[in-house]
């Protein structure tokens, strides 16, 4: 009786299929050839992102391709077609890796609204991924910030009174200067002061321990701060304690109804490092819409301003990171001495009228 020996091997072939063969040496060849083909495609990650017009999305689009046996298929070709919105992709096709994943970078089109992208495999099966593009105007200034701040105000509209209820349009402001003595130069300012005591539709939270209003540039916290933190409006300034992060959540003024604004900006005092001070903007679903940096101080006054305005009310929350080190009785800013410890505090907040989230 003749013994057969079988050899098996996998050979990649052009077109994304694999040839699986078994055969025998000698006279009695038995060959079973099964071509593995791209059969189905699904979206792994990257669907439903929010981005800015003309900008690449933060995350690549990743799809997963299976063969007819339901196994991940390497070297399959995925063809990308912008279906709506006029954006672009970093390549017309991409190939799956050993895990069956293919990815592409997707840049949003020129208009605010929905964008969609199709990824297809050779048999015509396809997936459609969606994204939403927003337009944003960023105002960034240091030195004499008066004109840029006024331009930012103009983008948002007229100043509304500090009253409860949703106004038709316009803007709100907080300059801290009217905060009563009971909440000044101590750690007692309630996070909801500007939605309850003086209704302006914002509630503050922080991973730190408290908020502090100062009318003396925080020299009562640390005498070494003398001359570091100047003001833009009048003397009172704002900062968190125990953290450089302040989250600002928007509500219809004086209510618990979550709200959205078109934009938000802040004046900062003593931004010493180019990367220490940012505002991040989030939509109601928690998507990061944009991150802006406050520029490093450029003159003796030491003020900076940064703000962003979107095409419609889409901002549910902003996260302010003011410097990299919180104020503290025993910690000094050392940037002017060549160090990297940058303490930054805030003056005026300027933002769009909070509109009830639909």
Instruction: Using the minimum distance from each CB to Ca ion, give the nearer residue, 57 or 179.
Output: 179
Write down the least CB distance from residue 147 to Ca ion, Å: 18
Tokens of 299: 């003159």
- DSSP designation for 354: P
Instruction: Using the minimum distance from each CB to Ca ion, give the nearer residue, 67 or 342.
Output: 342
Instruction: Using the minimum distance from each CB to Ca ion, give the nearer residue, 177 or 247.
Output: 177
Tokens 């007229």 sit on residue: 158
Task: Give yes or no for residue 346 binding Ca ion (CB under 5 A).
Answer: no
Tokens 């298929």 sit on residue: 73
- DSSP designation for 150: H
Task: Give yes or no for residue 212 binding Ca ion (CB under 5 A).
Answer: no
Tokens of 287: 């998507």
Instruction: Using the minimum distance from each CB to Ca ion, give the nearer residue, 231 or 305.
Output: 231
x-marked contacts with Ca ion along 87-126 as a string, rule CB under 5 A: ----------------------------------------
Write down the least CB distance from residue 294 to Ca ion, Å: 11
The residue count for binding Ca ion (CB under 5 A) is: 12
Distances (CA, A) of 61 to 58, 119, 296: 10, 10, 35
Tokens of 28: 């009695």
Q: Do 247 and 317 touch, CB atoms closer than 8 A? A: yes
Task: Give yes or no for residue 347 binding Ca ion (CB under 5 A).
Answer: yes
Task: Give yes or no for residue 220 binding Ca ion (CB under 5 A).
Answer: no
Write down the least CB distance from residue 250 to Ca ion, Å: 21
- DSSP designation for 315: B
Closest CA to 42 of 62, 64, 57, 25: 64
Task: Give yes or no for residue 332 binding Ca ion (CB under 5 A).
Answer: no
Q: Determine the interface stretch with Ca ion among 118-126, 209-217, 279-287, 325-333 (rule: CB under 5 A).
A: 325-333
Candidates 260, 342, 346, 351: give the one binding Ca ion (CB under 5 A): 342
Task: Give yes or no for residue 280 binding Ca ion (CB under 5 A).
Answer: no
Instruction: Using the minimum distance from each CB to Ca ion, give the nearer residue, 189 or 252.
Output: 189
Instruction: Using the minimum distance from each CB to Ca ion, give the nearer residue, 72 or 298.
Output: 298
Question: Which residues in 121-180 contact Ca ion (CB under 5 A)?
Answer: 175-177
Q: Determine the interface stretch with Ca ion among 43-51, 94-102, 199-207, 336-344 (rule: CB under 5 A).
A: 336-344
x-marked contacts with Ca ion along 222-261 as a string, rule CB under 5 A: ---------x-x--x-------------------------
Distance CA 307, CA 278 (A): 10
Tokens of 124: 């015509």
Q: Which helix (H) or strand (E) holds 152?
A: helix 146-156
Q: Do 40 and 125 touch, CB atoms closer than 8 A? A: yes
Sign of CA dihedral 73, 79, 83, 88: positive
Task: Order the strands of the 61-66 sheet from edge to edge.
Answer: 40-45, 61-66, 101-104
Write down the least CB distance from residue 309 to Ca ion, Å: 22
In degrees rounded to 5, what are phi and psi of residue 33?
-105, 125
Write down the least CB distance from residue 352 to Ca ion, Å: 20
Instruction: Using the minimum distance from each CB to Ca ion, give the nearer residue, 282 or 305.
Output: 305
Task: Give yes or no for residue 214 binding Ca ion (CB under 5 A).
Answer: no
Write down the least CB distance from residue 143 to Ca ion, Å: 16
Residue 26 has a CB neighbour count (10 Å cut-off) of: 10
Q: DSSP letters along 219-244, please?
A: TTT-GGGTTT---SSSS-EEEEES-S
Instruction: Using the minimum distance from each CB to Ca ion, give the nearer residue, 347 or 353.
Output: 347
Write down the least CB distance from residue 336 to Ca ion, Å: 8
Instruction: Using the minimum distance from each CB to Ca ion, give the nearer residue, 115 or 342.
Output: 342
Q: What angle do CA 193, 197, 200 make, to 5 degrees?
A: 70
Q: Give the footprint of Ca ion on this chain (CB under 5 A).
A: 175-177, 231, 233, 236, 270, 272, 333, 342-343, 347
């Amino acid at each position: 009786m003749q013994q057969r020996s079988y050899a098996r091997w996998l050979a990649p072939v052009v077109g994304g299929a694999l040839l699986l063969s078994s055969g025998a040496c000698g006279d009695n060849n038995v060959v079973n050839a099964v071509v593995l083909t791209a059969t189905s495609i699904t979206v792994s990650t990257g669907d439903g992102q929010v981005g800015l017009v003309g900008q690449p999305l933060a995350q690549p689009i990743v799809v997963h391709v299976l063969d007819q046996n339901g196994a991940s298929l390497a070297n399959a070709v995925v063809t990308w077609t912008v279906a709506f919105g006029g954006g672009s992709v970093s390549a017309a096709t991409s190939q799956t890796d050993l895990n069956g994943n293919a990815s592409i970078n997707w840049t949003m089109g020129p208009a605010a609204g929905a964008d969609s992208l199709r990824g297809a495999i050779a048999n015509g099966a396809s997936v459609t991924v969606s994204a939403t593009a927003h337009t944003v105007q960023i105002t960034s200034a240091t030195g004499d910030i008066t004109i840029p701040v006024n331009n930012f105000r103009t983008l948002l509209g007229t100043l509304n009174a500090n009253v409860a209820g949703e106004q038709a349009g316009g803007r709100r402001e907080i300059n801290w200067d009217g905060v009563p003595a009971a909440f000044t130069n101590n750690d007692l300012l309630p996070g909801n002061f500007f939605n309850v005591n003086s209704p302006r539709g914002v509630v503050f939270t922080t991973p730190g321990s408290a908020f502090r209003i100062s009318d003396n540039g925080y020299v009562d916290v640390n005498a070494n701060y003398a001359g570091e933190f100047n003001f833009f409006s009048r003397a009172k300034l704002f900062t968190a304690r125990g953290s450089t992060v302040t989250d600002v959540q928007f509500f219809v003024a004086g209510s618990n109804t979550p709200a959205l604004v078109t934009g938000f900006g802040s004046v900062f005092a003593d931004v010493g490092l180019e990367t220490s001070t940012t505002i991040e903007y989030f939509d109601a679903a928690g998507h990061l819409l944009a991150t802006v940096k406050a520029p490093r101080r450029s003159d003796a006054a030491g003020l900076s301003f940064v703000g962003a305005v979107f095409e419609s009310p889409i901002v549910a929350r902003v996260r302010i990171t003011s410097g990299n080190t919180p104020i503290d009785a025993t910690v000094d800013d050392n940037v002017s001495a060549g160090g990297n410890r940058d303490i930054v505090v805030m003056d005026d907040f300027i933002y769009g009228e909070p509109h009830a989230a639909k």
